[in-house]
């Protein structure tokens, strides 16, 4: 919503799910009137109502290794607001192969994190998290829950990073992971570097095509 209000001319939304009642405590774009409808289509309608000068493209489908490059290629900046590890690794790999910056955000219970990957020669997601969690080792959102306001905080920070990239303002969070604790209102940063042995963005990458990671990561889509 902040990107639409700021006047970003073209927005693409990739979302396969439909609105559910359990979403509404944290996904304030939706209301009870839209329960059962496509999230991507509802988002398109509301963003166009907010700013009729936008070009909003709703992709009501699942992102896979077969369609990721074609779906992401038209956009200048990719924002990963997914809630599962297979999608995060897939989006990262696609952005490296397409040479596009990736704004990343994730939340868990009362904590969130934000970074920018593959930007100006900086590290990618795999440089920070080279080894995915083992199956069952990390609880998903439905199991662990999240404080409803936390996605708003992290989402706003992600929107700020996207706008900075498009406007050429300030310093992107490249090589830095911004951590936020909503219980104690504490922000701190962790620096990390590009890994020369990274299988995707390293000096001799071994990942040159996309694959789907459902069986490889701890949480499936």
Residues 163-194 have pLDDT tens digits of 999 999 999 999 999 999 999 888 999 999 99
Q: Which two tokens stand for residue 196?
A: 């020369």
Write down the architecture of domain 66-74+81-217 according to CATH.
3-Layer(aba) Sandwich (3.40)
pLDDT higher than 80, residue 217: no
Cα 36 to chain centroid, rounded: 23
Confidence bin at 221 (pLDDT 50/70/90): very low
Segment 25-44, tens digit of pLDDT = 999 999 999 999 999 999 99
Q: Which residue has the tokens 């706003």?
A: 156
HSE-up of 92 (CA within 13 Å, CB side)?
29
Average pLDDT over residues 74-92: 95
The mean per-residue pLDDT over the stretch 14-19 comes to 96
pLDDT above 90 as % of the chain: 83
Residue extent(s) of CATH 3.40.50.720 domains in the chain: 66-74+81-217
**SS3 for 180?**
strand
92 CB contacts (<8 Å, ≥6 apart)? 80, 102, 117, 118, 124, 125, 126, 200
């Amino acid at each position: 919503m902040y990107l639409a209000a700021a006047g970003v001319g073209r927005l693409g939304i990739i979302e396969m799910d439909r609105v559910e009642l359990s979403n509404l405590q944290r996904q304030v774009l939706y209301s009870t009137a839209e329960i059962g409808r496509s999230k991507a289509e509802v988002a398109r309608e509301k963003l166009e109502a907010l700013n009729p000068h936008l070009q909003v493209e709703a992709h009501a489908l699942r992102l896979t290794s077969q369609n990721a490059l074609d779906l992401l290629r038209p956009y200048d900046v990719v924002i990963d607001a997914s809630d599962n590890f297979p999608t995060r690794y897939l989006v990262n790999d696609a952005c490296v192969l397409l040479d596009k910056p990736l704004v990343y955000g994730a939340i868990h219970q009362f904590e969130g994190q934000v970074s920018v990957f593959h930007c100006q020669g900086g590290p990618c997601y795999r440089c920070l998290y080279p080894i995915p969690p083992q199956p069952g080792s990390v609880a998903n959102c439905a199991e662990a829950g999240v404080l409803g306001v936390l996605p708003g905080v992290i989402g706003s920070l992600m929107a700020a990073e996207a706008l900075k990239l498009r406007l050429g303002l300030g310093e992107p969070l490249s090589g830095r992971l911004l951590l936020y604790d909503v219980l104690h209102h504490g922000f701190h940063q962790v620096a990390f570097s590009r890994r020369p042995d990274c299988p995707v963005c390293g000096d001799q990458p071994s990942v040159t095509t996309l694959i789907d990671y459902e069986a490889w990561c701890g949480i499936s889509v």
